[in-house]
Amino acid sequence: MFGYRISWAQLAWFGHRASGIGVLVFVLLHIVETATVLAGPDVYNFTQGFYHNLPAKLGEVLLMAALVYHSLNGLRIVALDFWPSTTVYYRPLTYGIVAATVITMVPLGLIMVKDYVPWG
């Protein structure tokens, strides 16, 4: 598809960027939406209502997954930068972070959507 082999390092780098930009966009939106709390319960509960449905909850699961991945991959970058000898473990660390993100998101995702899924 790309005409050349994509390495895990490139995917980890791209994932870090994409998740970082995604979280930043949400943080900017979150500041505006939280500021409506100054207008009292009537307005604030109305704006929070935008989040109280299944599509928004799935978006929150995606946000959580982005944050978990960005956190773990960021810690990996810090470890490799400050303790270069850990570079030997670069490959298992990269695989481990993807696996850990998927594994933690299963229970977290189920809890996050539990009040909004049809079978909940």
Question: Counting contacts by CB under 8 A, is residue 54 touching other proteins?
Answer: no
Question: Counting contacts by CB under 8 A, is residue 90 touching other proteins?
Answer: yes
Q: If you search the block for the tokens 């895990």, which residue do you land on? A: 8
If one counts every other C-beta atom within 10 angstroms of the C-beta of residue 70, the result is 19
d(CA 74, CA 68): 10
Residue 3 vs 120, nearer CB to other proteins: 120
Question: Counting contacts by CB under 8 A, is residue 75 touching other proteins?
Answer: yes
Using the 8-state DSSP alphabet, how is residue 83 labeled?
A: -
Q: If you search the block for the tokens 């704006």, which residue do you land on? A: 47
Least Cβ distance, residue 88 to other proteins (angstroms):
11
Least Cβ distance, residue 118 to other proteins (angstroms):
17
